[in-house]
Structure 1
Amino acid sequence: MAKNKDSFARTLFIVVGLCLICSIFVSTAAVLLKPTQQENRLLDKQKYILEAAGLIDPQAKLTKKDILQTYKKYVEAKVVDLKTGSMVSGIDGDTYDQQKASRDPATSFVPQHDIASVKRVADNAVVYLVHDDAGKLTTVILPVHGYGLWSTMYAFLAVKPDMNTVQNLVYYSQGETPGLGGEVQNPKWKAKWNGKKLFDENGNIAIKVTKNPAVAASDYGVDALSGATLTSNGVQHTLTFWLGDEGFARFIEKARNGGLS
């Protein structure tokens, strides 16, 4: 009597074999594509930095060459020790992985006043110095992040060399509700930040994301997002944290006292 070719063992062997072959293909593709994926992420990041600096039109169709050349010409990435506010030598700001460093207890700390729900903060952070054609400093860009309603929201806060006047707040990664919290990326809302002040005359954090029209119309106020209270609160908490003592406060102080000249 002939053996049953559709036996359970034979079927299992074929299934396992196919799974093994597929896993090899997927793993190989992941390894081969990783450098390209990393390059694309870096390019996307540089594009948002240029947008925050006001060097490109976010709606313009730019080539990879356009982005790389503009970034290289005008932007300088520096690594800062958050505890001292001083520049760190020997670390390339363009390749330093701040998020990875924040996950390692050896290179990060747990903030005592975690109003933005960042969990851990890297000891060193990247800042971006933007110069004009004459080499004059025009913009300082601080990477900030904090939790909104559904997600951690990542942004670039661009300020003038006085370290007080906002030029841009550009969110480049967030998972908030489209049409509500997702409006942090709406050009009309982003435009409201230009010219606003972060600190009052006594150096206290004064910027407010508010529903109060009178405050929003002042130098220190920005309209809260309609129907997105928790996302708006997340933006406020993000700025309060990163402008504070466990964020960029010491760097900002040094920069104001000529530390960038």
Structure 2
Amino acid sequence: MSNKETTSRTLMVALAVSLVSSIFVAGAAVSLKPIQVENRQLDKQRSILAIAGLGEAKLSGAEVKKLFGERIAAKVVDLSSGEYVDQFDPTTFDPLKAARDPKLSAELAGNEDIALIKRRERYTTVYTVEQDGKLESLILPIRGYGLWSTLHGFIAVKADLNTVVGLGFYQHAETPGLGGEVDNPKWKGLWPGKQLFDDAGKPVIRIVKGGVDPASASAVHQVDALAGATLTSNGVDRLLQFWLGEQGFGPYLAKLRAEGV
């Protein structure tokens, strides 16, 4: 057999192996996708429950589903009007996907985009905890750019729409030990009880470098910055100003206040 024939046969075998491997990998990816989607959903639900003070990270998938279904109601809101809408299924609507769709989102001008998200969806999903038909707490999705990544999370507030129940991020790529300290239970423990707004409804919660002075009248509106992670801390500060303001949930919260919710 000539060297040319040997080389051709080797290439054919390599091509066949590559083709079979590609088919196998593609098939595995397709078959595993529903499991991956379900796991991401469970992670998000687990995060919502924890931030709302209703569950712990160690809950099993079945326990998360049961508790979430019993205590949490998802609703889609029009961010511009603050009205609930019914043209989307709140259990499947994806605000992040909507933010990439020009028909369902709007580009943010430079001075508007303090959270550095580029586009803001027109509709998003909020979550309520209710007891006997009365609101106990409200969980709002938040996101914005830190140092290396977009931080995705939630903030939960009491029925007064001002007092923080909890804050946390379920997805980010900040530096472990620095910006990654947004996941530190000690830092997250600083948030409950903080007040987001002043008497006029203006967002005044701030991340403070150097530590909060507990004797200050502003202490109730302040949280310590992350040590050694100024840019991540600034990112959290900016994303809160954005989502609690007029470009974010401002109209929705104003509507709830007017209704006496």
Give the shorter-chain TM-score range. over 0.9
Which residue is equivalent to 1:53?
Answer: 52
Deviation at 1:244, TM superposition (A): 1.2
Confirm whether residue 122 of structure 1 aligns to residue 121 of structure 2. Answer: yes
Distance in 2 separating the partners of 1:24 and 1:184 = 40
For each residue in 1:69-126, what CA deviation from the matched residue of structure 2 results, as whole angstroms up to 9, or x when unmatched?
Answer: 1000000000000110100113221210111110111110012310111111111011
Asked if 1 retains the 8 angstrom alpha-carbon contact of 2:46 and 2:56, the reply is: no
**What are the residue-to-residue correspondences of 1:211-250 with 2, within 5 Å?**
211-214=209-212, 218-250=219-251
Which residue is equivalent to 1:81?
Answer: 78
Structure 1 gaps of 5+ residues are: none
Which residue is equivalent to 1:107?
Answer: 104
Partner AA of 1:150 in structure 2: W
Structure 1's 188 and 135: CA in aligned 2 closer, same or farther, altered over 3 A?
Answer: same
Confirm whether residue 43 of structure 1 aligns to residue 48 of structure 2. Answer: no
Distance in 1 separating the partners of 2:213 and 2:119 = 32
Which residue is equivalent to 2:92?
Answer: 95
Asked if 2 retains the 8 angstrom alpha-carbon contact of 1:164 and 1:198, the reply is: yes
Which residue is equivalent to 1:65?
Answer: 62
- Aligned CA RMSD, in angstroms, stands at 1.6
Deviation at 1:137, TM superposition (A): 1.6
Structure 2 gaps of 5+ residues are: none
Asked if 1 retains the 8 angstrom alpha-carbon contact of 2:212 and 2:223, the reply is: no
Asked if 1 retains the 8 angstrom alpha-carbon contact of 2:76 and 2:88, the reply is: yes
Deviation at 1:57, TM superposition (A): 2.4
Deviation at 1:169, TM superposition (A): 0.5
Asked if 2 retains the 8 angstrom alpha-carbon contact of 1:207 and 1:220, the reply is: yes
SS in 2 for 1:7: helix
Deviation at 1:138, TM superposition (A): 0.9
Which residue is equivalent to 2:130?
Answer: 131
SS in 1 for 2:84: coil
Identity rate of aligned residues, in percent?
49
Confirm whether residue 251 of structure 1 aligns to residue 252 of structure 2. Answer: yes
Distance in 2 separating the partners of 1:214 and 1:236 = 14
Confirm whether residue 210 of structure 1 aligns to residue 201 of structure 2. Answer: no
Which residue is equivalent to 2:7?
Answer: 8
* Structure-1-length-normalised TM-score: 0.94
From 179, 182, 185, give the equivalent of 2:183: 185
Counting matched residue pairs gives 256
Distance in 1 separating the partners of 2:2 and 2:236 = 69
Structure 1's 214 and 224: CA in aligned 2 closer, same or farther, altered over 3 A?
Answer: closer
Which residue is equivalent to 1:154?
Answer: 152
Asked if 2 retains the 8 angstrom alpha-carbon contact of 1:108 and 1:123, the reply is: yes
Partner AA of 1:155 in structure 2: G
